[in-house]
């Protein structure tokens, strides 16, 4: 029998990261027959000392770059976005650039209020500790990264992953964490423009984008989104022990929703 034709997958990495964050997570997708693409966000392939221009890059710039990349594909892809990449996937879906979206610990769009004191405190600490940080480079803190993002990794692996982190755009970080002060509403996603199905996955122990906030994101899409909480996981869903099971669940969900779409088309 001929192999099942599968759409391309575009994996969108999170803040401080690069395509390397999907090195392991992408393998089950490739093995299942998907053509997997993992583009680098602007300047995130320049190593630990990117140009200062990165500090001024907006979420809108990242989204435009990704939209141009997707336009060059042979067909509309399934988007898999982690953390900030999950927000970018939502922005692209609102532009009609996604067949389906898998959102892994996604950052919330403009207007979605935090649900935990940790989220509020993190945003306030960043805003008031260094003044207006827009236009600057934000450097990842080892303690925050290892305590709250990489905390499910073995110590040696945790250090190795952190060593690959790069600075992030202060502008984009501001647009996510302190969106209420952003007059451009860069991270805004009009929910009714997102017509594709979405799978929203959160780790039960994630403090950065906790399950309660991810559930609130899913609720915006009025039945088009499925929310699932994975027990024992934190924020680094793309590389924690058990991430292969999350990938397998995502693949099964993609097959399910695309199969439903085909059945609907065939009846019309």
- Torsion (CA) 89, 93, 97, 103 in degrees, nearest 10: 40
- 100-104 and 168-169 strand pairing: unpaired
Give every residue of the chain whose pLDDT is below 50, as ranges: 1-2, 264-268
DSSP string, 62-127: HHHHHHHHHHTSSSPPEEEEETHHHHHHHHHHHTT--SEEEEESPPPPTT----SHHHHHHHHHHH
List pLDDT tens digits, range 5-60. Answer: 789 999 999 999 999 999 999 999 999 999 999 999 999 999 889 999 999 999 99
The pLDDT of residue 3: 53
The pLDDT of residue 2: 42
Model confidence, pTM: 0.95
Angle formed at CA 7 by CA 24 and CA 240, multiple of 5 degrees: 20
Q: Residues for the chain: how many in total?
A: 268
The pLDDT of residue 265: 40
Q: Which domains does the chain have, with CATH numbers?
A: 9-267 (3.40.50.1820)
List pLDDT tens digits, range 217-235. Answer: 999 999 999 999 999 999 9
């Amino acid at each position: 029998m001929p192999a099942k034709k599968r759409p391309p997958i575009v994996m969108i990495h999170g803040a401080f990261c690069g395509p390397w964050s999907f090195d392991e997570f992408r393998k089950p997708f490739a093995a299942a027959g998907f053509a997997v693409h993992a583009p680098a966000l602007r300047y995130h392939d320049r190593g630990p000392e990117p140009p200062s221009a990165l500090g001024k890059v907006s979420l809108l710039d990242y989204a435009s770059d990704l939209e141009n990349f997707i336009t060059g594909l042979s067909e509309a892809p399934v988007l898999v976005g982690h953390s900030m990449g999950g927000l970018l996937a939502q922005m692209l879906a609102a532009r009609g650039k996604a067949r389906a979206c898998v959102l892994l610990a996604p950052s919330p769009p403009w207007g979605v209020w935090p649900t935990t004191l940790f989220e509020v405190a993190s945003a306030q600490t960043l805003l008031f500790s260094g003044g207006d940080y827009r236009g600057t480079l934000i450097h990842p803190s080892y303690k925050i990264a290892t305590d709250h993002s990489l905390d499910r990794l073995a110590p040696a692996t945790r250090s190795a992953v952190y060593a690959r982190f790069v600075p992030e755009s202060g502008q984009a970080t501001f647009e996510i964490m302190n969106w209420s002060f952003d007059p451009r509403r860069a991270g805004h996603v009009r929910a009714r423009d997102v017509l594709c199905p979405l799978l929203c996955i959160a780790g039960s122990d994630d403090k950065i984008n906790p399950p309660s906030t991810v559930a609130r994101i899913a609720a915006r899409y009025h039945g088009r989104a499925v929310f699932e909480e994975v027990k024992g996981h934190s924020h680094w869903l793309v590389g924690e022990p058990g991430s292969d099971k999350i990938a397998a669940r995502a693949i099964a969900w993609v097959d399910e929703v695309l199969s439903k779409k085909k059945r609907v088309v065939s009846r019309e």
